[in-house]
Each structure stands twice: as C-alpha cells, then as structure tokens.
Amino acid sequence: MDFELSKRDYSIILLVVVVLVGLDVVLYMTIHNKKIVSSIAKNDYNVYNSSYITADKQASIYLSNYYNLIHIDVEKAYAKFEKDSMKQLYTIEEFKSYVSKMDLSSTKVTKLNYYKKGKYTYYSIIDGNNNRVTFKSNGVMNYTVDFR
C-alpha cells in the first residue's frame, strides 16, 4: 500500500493542527482566567487603585480605613497607635470610651497638612466632624495613628 501526500494535503493537515492548537490555548486561557477571577471575592480592601494617588486621596483612604477598623475591631484600631505617645495617654478601655463619643460618620477630609520626614509621610487630617487624626505612613496601608 503506497500512501503519498501532496503539498496541498500537508498544508491542510498543518492548518488543522494550528487551528486545533490555537483553540486549545484559547480554551485553556478562558477556563484558567475564570477560575482565578471567580475565586476572589470583591470587598473594600481588594479594589484596584491607580498607581498614582494624590495626597488628598491617600489621606481619605487612611481615614476611611481607620474609621472602619474602629467599627470592626477597636482593639486592632488601638494597636495602630504610635506605641510611645498615644498608648501612654489612653488604655484600651479609655480609647473605647473616647471613640464611642466621637462622631465617625464623616470620612471627608476638610483640612489636610502632609509632609515627608525621613522615610515617613505624615498626614494631619481634620475630618468633616472636626476630629483631628494624624497618620504616620511608611508604605501603602502601613501606618500608625495619633489623635493629637
């Protein structure tokens, strides 16, 4: 049995193989990407932020994050205090009492003073309810808090 393929037959076979491999890659990528995306539940902490954030926007993010933390877990909020200064002024119980009297409903930054000193950026904020909060930051969402 003599079996010969012409150039046209080789071209058709090659075209079919390329199409099948291409479809396989597209199918794999579609399934793979859907598994990754569907496994991440969206919430306030994993939203996409632009790579360029103004100081006003960053201050607003810190303020909103910290006020949410007070509502969710006041002990974690207390742990964000600058260790030497605020923890000497307030015990955890005094802090709980203090924040229970604060109006934390507005995370609008009405006044902002920010500056860099060494590796830290300081954001001194007065919010929409006249609360004064200062954040000492040395990285994205890596900050300590001072209420003075």
End-to-end CA distance of the chain: 95
Q: Where are the beta strands (DSSP E) in 21-69?
A: none
Which helix H or strand E contains 20, and what residues bound it?
Answer: helix 7-38
pLDDT in tens, 2-53: 667 777 877 888 888 888 888 887 777 777 665 555 566 666 666 655 567 8
Mean pLDDT for all residues in the chain: 81
Q: What is the pTM of this model?
A: 0.62
**C-alpha distances in Å from residue 66, one per residue of 3, 56, 123, 138:** 77, 15, 13, 16
For the chain, give every domain's residue range: 1-40, 55-146
The number of C-alpha atoms within 13 Å of 75 and in the hemisphere containing its C-beta is 0
